[in-house]
Structure 1
């Protein structure tokens, strides 16, 4: 595989882990470890890290090293506002489309999320959570909206570090809220879908603010 292709592969993998909160703020990204994991050269890994730095997802320390960038209080508030603008708008478009195939896809993602949680594969659950929100955006078919969402590098707010009991409550609430959004879409109940999504985002913001 060409060097630029390997660099892109590393970029996608690290980006996914950051946005799904499997790599949290402050964690050091070791070039040699990622080179071994992806079977890429350290040059390709470094190129991927540079791209991630350009997207404000990682930063380089004064004494060297690459670290996942920590979110500030303002970051959390800004992301929360952006998510509501984009995701509520996307959900509104979905209600005009009444796409049964899309609803089925969302249901399958909900099933996947719950299965991952039941198996205690929390990294997979985080990725399913990201996929759920991305599918809502993709379902609009609006290329500009999709590009805006992807380029914004919107991270999860859920599944932060804390007690296992609190984490499990968060997983359960997330699964329940996702399912309620899909059922509201299925039943053509806009108010229920809107209220649930906003509650979902509010809860995520609250959890994130406690961890900043």
Structure 2
């Protein structure tokens, strides 16, 4: 496989783990370590890290090395505000064009989330959480909305791997399912109020972990 393809593979994996907070803010990303983990050259890892640096997902340390960008309380507040604007907009679009297949997909993601938590695979639960919200956005069938969501590099800031209580995962599960059930009943108001509470709880949890 060519170096650029390998670099893209590492980039996609690192980006996914950063956005789902499996790689937490402040963590150093060592080139040699990730080269071993992903079975690629350090050059491929360096290309991936440089790309993430350009997206402002990692920063270069004062003494060298790449680190996952830390978030300030203001960053967290602004992330919550942006996610709320985009995801509430997606819910409005979804309500205008009901899609049973999409809701079935969201139900399956909820089942995957539950199974991952029950088995203790919290990294998998983080992935399922990220997939749930991305599916809400993509299901709105608005390419510009999806591009904005992806290009904004919006992390799921409440999913700090290993630092949340199991009650937090259970509450996330309940909120996801309530959003889907509300959409099935075409109760946009309930879907939106649940989403707002979900994001506000995420903001509060993230602030408590800084």
Give the TM-score band, short-chain normalised: over 0.9
1:198 counterpart residue number: 196
1:9 counterpart residue number: 9
User: 1:37 and 1:162 mapped to 2: Cα distance?
Assistant: 20
Contact residue 175 and residue 194 of structure 2 kept, 8 A: yes
How far apart are residue 203 of structure 1 and its match? 0.3
2:99 counterpart residue number: 99
Contact residue 20 and residue 127 of structure 2 kept, 8 A: yes
2:173 counterpart residue number: 175
Contact residue 122 and residue 162 of structure 2 kept, 8 A: no
Contact residue 182 and residue 191 of structure 2 kept, 8 A: yes
Equivalenced residues, count: 210
User: 1:42 and 1:160 mapped to 2: Cα distance?
Assistant: 28
Moved segments of 4+, more than 6 Å: none
Deviation per residue, 1:34-73 (Å, 9 max, x gap): 1122221111100110110111111111111111110011
User: 1:196 and 1:54 mapped to 2: Cα distance?
Assistant: 34
User: 1:179 and 1:14 mapped to 2: Cα distance?
Assistant: 28
2:21 counterpart residue number: 21
Contact residue 160 and residue 167 of structure 1 kept, 8 A: no
Deviation per residue, 1:93-129 (Å, 9 max, x gap): 0011100000000000000000000001000000000
Indicate how the Cα distance of structure 1 residues 141 and 195 shifts in structure 2: closer, same or farther if over 3 A, else same: same
Aligned residues: CA RMSD: 1.1
Structure 2 counterparts to residues 153-192 of structure 1, below 5 A: 153-160=153-160, 167-192=165-190
Whose RCO is larger (CA < 8 A, sep 6+)?
2
> Normalised by the size of structure 1, how large is the TM-score?
0.96
Structure 2 counterparts to residues 40-189 of structure 1, below 5 A: 40-160=40-160, 167-189=165-187
Structure 1, unmatched stretches of 5+, are: none
How far apart are residue 182 of structure 1 and its match? 0.2
How far apart are residue 162 of structure 1 and its match? 7.1
Contact residue 161 and residue 167 of structure 1 kept, 8 A: no
> Normalised by the size of structure 2, how large is the TM-score?
0.97
